[in-house]
Amino acid sequence: MTDSEPTLIVHPHEGTPDPTDTPEALNRAIKKLASSTMPVAIDVERASGFRYSDRAYLIQIRREDAGTFLIDADALPHLHSLGEALQNAVWILHAADQDLPSLRGANLHAPELFDTEVAAQLLGFERIGLAAVLEQTLGVTLDKEHQASDWSNRPLPRSWLRYAALDVEFLTQLYRVLSRELYDAGRWDWAEQEFAHILSREPKPADPNKWRSIPGAGKIRTRRQLAILQQLWRAREAIAREQDIAPTRLISNRTLVSLAFKPPRNKRALLSIQEMRRPRTRSHTDEWIRAIRHAKCMSETDLPPLRKPVAPGTLPKVSGWRSAHPDELARLKTIRRAIEPLAKELGIDPAVLLEPRVQKRLAWDGPVLRPDEMREYLRRRGARAWQIERVAGALVKATN
């Protein structure tokens, strides 16, 4: 690690490459990348907040002896051959769980993973963003100006391409430094288990009650108003999905909740709201009115309940345990007190030593377990072997 002032890097060492956006250019890139056996540094740029989908619009790939390639995944949707050229070495990503779904959607599947964010967590870094980790290890920092840009724009500005290339410029060097630190700390095995867990993790199923997470929805106090919010949310989702536009660019969450509280009686009343007169929103006036009327006509038995139903296998929010589940909350506090000193001794965050979801599940289930039973319980709940080895004994004492 370095304590000196970090150096701001504004240009890739080899210059900013042009985007690879034609089949011919892709074939040339594949040929160069396939000739290497070096690790694959890879990153993804999406259009979150602008588009409905979470697909990749630009994929940055670097192998130290082949160079950096900026793959236009919008112009080149069929990248299976590219993925095949990258199967002979570890893939290096930062916060891989964010990018792997988009890469898989582009037919790019990592054969082996090294996640620099996870490595930093296992080494006890307090700041784990890529820029922060680069500062602490290599003494360099990057400008993150275009992190939240609309990467579906074409053509991409030269400054954006430069930013994208820099995101993979130092990943291989960072991989080497963090790997050495993990080995020296005796934590390489921990990292391997974490990387394998990330690659094998199943995607979360869609939440049918996602509409309830809209900010302000919790203030609604009648089932009829909730039904209006639900139907408006569904209409917004359908339109956004069809047009591949971020839902909040049609109607803001605040306006959606406001319409649920005070639903307009007709089109004139709806269009008296300034936001609803925007061309993109106004063109769907019939859909908004139809959603409101449908909710108003729903029978009492079909109205959504005031409280979000707890899906099978899931737990209610901990914030509600104090009044409804005090015994479970007491157990959770005991479990946390058992984990915290172990994590402090290792110099890592308690959530890294044992995921909060596992802690909450153990508190909820409330089993009294022998050491071998506790280890099996933690394994079934997704804890990794290195975690189980370090927490099982303390959890047996804490819960018995």
Q: Which two tokens stand for residue 316?
A: 């209610």
CATH of domain 7-200: 3.30.420.10
pTM value is: 0.93
Q: Do 230 and 295 meet the contact criterion of CB atoms below 8 Å apart?
A: yes
Pairing verdict, β 67-72 and 58-63: antiparallel
Residue-wise burial string across 60-96, b where 16 or more C-beta atoms lie within 10 A, e elsewhere = bbbbeebbbbbbbbbebeebeebbebbeeebbbbbeb
CATH architecture of 318-399: Orthogonal Bundle (1.10)
Who contacts 294 (Cβ-Cβ below 8 Å, separation ≥6)?
231
Domain with CATH 3.30.420.10 in the chain: 7-200
Amino acid at residue number 162? R
CATH of domain 210-297: 1.10.150.80
Domain with CATH 1.10.150.80 in the chain: 210-297, 318-399
Kindly give the confidence (pLDDT) of every residue in the chain, 400 residues in length, as a single tens digit, with 9 standing for 90 and above.
556 788 999 899 999 999 999 999 999 999 999 999 999 999 999 999 999 999 999 999 999 999 999 999 999 988 999 999 999 999 999 999 999 999 999 999 999 999 999 999 999 999 999 999 999 999 999 877 777 899 999 999 999 999 999 999 999 999 999 999 999 999 999 999 999 999 999 888 888 899 999 999 999 999 999 999 999 999 999 999 999 999 999 999 999 999 999 999 999 999 999 999 999 999 999 999 999 999 999 999 999 999 888 777 789 889 989 999 999 999 999 999 999 999 999 999 999 999 999 999 999 999 889 999 999 999 999 999 999 999 999 999 999 8
Q: Which two tokens stand for residue 399?
A: 């819960």
Residue 351, CA atoms < 13 Å, CB-side half-sphere:
5
